[in-house]
Amino acid sequence: MIDPTELHALGHTSALPASPQAAVLDYPANPRPGVDYLVRFTVPEFTSLCPVTGQPDFAHIVIDYVPGETIVESKSLKLFLGSFRNHAAFHEDCTVGIAQRLVAEMAPKWLRIGGYWYPRGGIPIDVFWQTGVAPAGVWVPDQGVATYRGRG
């Protein structure tokens, strides 16, 4: 059982962090250590700000990872991702920065992220990053986001 006093978000009233840097992510112990399995978070309404114009940017983010000793707690992840609403950064910086923070703090066996950004100036920008090859025997399904055709 997880001690709720050790968690910052789950079981507590939580305000949206002022910035991604201010967000605290919680990493409980992996409930199935020794078993390689895939965890997927799908964020179809991710938002950030354009660092040049200040206008909102929208993306469909998909995070896949194979846990190591810990997992990321979903409410703390939701608050971290929500903190990008007032964060000005290019699509590439947001997408890769999210993944690199998770890798640095959680130390998963494997992680990949797909940032499927809606068009600005008529061009959708999709950003992909992963730590390497997925562990053998782990089922890694397609991320399920179509090449841009209205992002339906």
Model confidence over 6-23: pLDDT tens digits? Answer: 777 777 788 999 999 999
Catalytic one of 3, 26, 36, 50: 50
Catalytic one of 26, 57, 64, 94: 57
Q: Would you list the domain boundaries of the chain? A: 4-130
50 assigned to active site:
yes
Q: Can you give the three-state secondary structure of the chain, one letter per residue?
A: CCCHHHCCCCCCCCCCCCCCCCCCCCCCECCCCCCCCCEEEEEEEEEEECCCCCCEEEEEEEEEEECCCECCCHHHHHHHHHHHHHCECCHHHHHHHHHHHHHHHHCCCEEEEEEEECCECCECCEEEEECCCCCCCCCCCCCCCCCCCCCC
Q: What is the pLDDT of residues 76-122, one digit of tens each?
A: 999 999 999 999 999 999 999 999 999 999 999 999 999 999 988 88
pTM: 0.92
57 assigned to active site:
yes
Confidence of residue 123 (pLDDT cuts 50, 70, 90): confident
| CATH top-level class of 4-130 | alpha beta
